[in-house]
Structure 1
Amino acid sequence: MSAETNEDACKHPKSNVSGLPDQPCLPRDLAGLNINVRNITTCFNVKTRLNLKKLARTGYNTEHKYFNSEMLTMKLRKPNATAIIWPSGKVICTRTVTEHNARMAARRIARIIQRLDNPNVIFGSYKIVNVFGCCTLPFAIQLVPFAQKYKSNVIYEPELNVGVIYKITELQATLTIFSSGTITVYVKSVEMVKEAIHYIYPLIYPFRKNR
């Protein structure tokens, strides 16, 4: 496929049965692109009220905080994770980068809480609430003409944010696109990080520029 044919394919993506555009130019252009998951946020509930002061006194790597509400921060080393625990038994866990480690970290946090004199702890209501991923394209991007062409899908306020915010309704994904070629992605699952990049790539490609 010639360079011109490849560019035309990016300019005119087709639609498939899933509602997402086909990417005829992707296999060659994205072959060496690193799409990384940087953080997975999960939440679960231990189904019992907790005494956070007691947990802070008896647990390891904990920090008892008061902001708008009382909470306890607990850190794990293996897998690397940070949990925020509320008296109601709700727990939010962050800093993991794979779904396997995210679930493992959540279960270990629940087991630690149980062993700290909370025998009624039950691990439940686990779910992934947010995945943060990113990649850097091999070219810079002209943000102004891109934002003008897709103004119904983007938020671009350069005085507040140097990037263009693009929302993909079909994937419930929010992307921030920077002129350097870096794209950050917020989605609901690990698989959707790659899908979101594949979706936006043929739209961005015509606005590429040399670094």
Structure 2
Amino acid sequence: MAQSQPAPRGIALIHPSWPCPQVQNVVATVNLDCRLDLLALSQQARNVEYSRKKFHALIMRIRDPKTTTLVFATGKMVITGAKSAELARLAGRKHARMIQKCGFQTKFMDFKVQNFVASCSTGFYVRLEGIVSRYPDFARYEPEIFPGLVYKIAGANITMLVFTNGKVVITGVKEVDKIYESFAKVYPILLDEKMGDVVRR
């Protein structure tokens, strides 16, 4: 029986009555440490797309875990779509093995998560103009350009997108704990600008 993964430490910062952000996408990179002939690979591997005229990478997809990987001739891979770092690593290893079976001497080096994307819904409407007026150094809101408020976390390269309907998207995170630390800092600000609960239909 598989053991469940321990909860990230940062979750302890989320009050039990608050919504908790969920990881929606992990972007990770891997180095296979060998040059690849993408045309030859596209002719041998399954579930791939390759068009040199449109894009200089081969696209590989697998269903378990459901991910899409960009494979470059340099041997670099970019994995997207996984729901955790562990699943991104698993997908990378599966792709590396598929490429190896096509005759390339692949290794699995320098696995690194480049970005966690997480989201949640507060369940209430948020007055975005109020956040901008109170935190002009961190918040930017230009509804004619983008419908969400862009909030930069001080001292980190982390961005939170906040929408009027209470939807929050967190991006630019390289460590999963930072998702919860960032949300714990900003959620009280959202509560201060609450306009009313979202009615579920």
TM score, norm. by length of structure 1: 0.82
Query: Which amino acid in the other structure matches residue 61 of structure 2?
Result: K
Structure 1 partner of 2:46: 60
CA contact (8 A) 1:65 1:72 kept: yes
Q: Is 1:150 the counterpart of 2:127 in the alignment?
A: no
Distance 1:156 1:66 in 2: 39
In the superposition, relative to structure 1, how do residues 176 and 67 fare at CA in structure 2: closer, same or farther (>3 Å)? farther
Query: Which amino acid in the other structure matches residue 176 of structure 2?
Result: V
CA contact (8 A) 2:138 2:154 kept: no
Q: Which has the higher Rg, Structure 1 or Structure 2?
A: 1
Structure 2 partner of 1:117: 103
Higher-helix-fraction structure: 1
Shift of 1:199: 1.2
Distance 1:70 1:93 in 2: 16
CA contact (8 A) 2:132 2:141 kept: yes
Distance 1:57 1:106 in 2: 20
Shift of 1:174: 0.5
Q: Is 1:50 the counterpart of 2:33 in the alignment?
A: no
Q: How many residues align?
A: 184
Structure 2 partner of 1:163: 148
Q: 1:170 is paired with a residue of what secondary structure?
A: coil
Q: 1:100 aligns with which of 57, 71, 86?
A: 86
Q: 2:187 aligns with which of 194, 201, 204?
A: 201
Q: Which runs of 5+ in 1 are unaligned?
A: 1-22
Shift of 1:172: 2.5
Shift of 1:65: 2.7
Q: Is 1:29 the counterpart of 2:17 in the alignment?
A: yes
**CA offsets per residue over residues 29-71 of structure 1, 9 Å max, x none?**
31xx242111000001111110000110000000003367511
Distance 2:45 2:183 in 1: 41
Distance 1:68 1:124 in 2: 28
Shift of 1:28: 5.0
Q: 1:160 is paired with a residue of what secondary structure?
A: coil
Query: Which amino acid in the other structure matches residue 29 of structure 1?
Result: S
Query: Which amino acid in the other structure matches residue 45 of structure 1?
Result: N
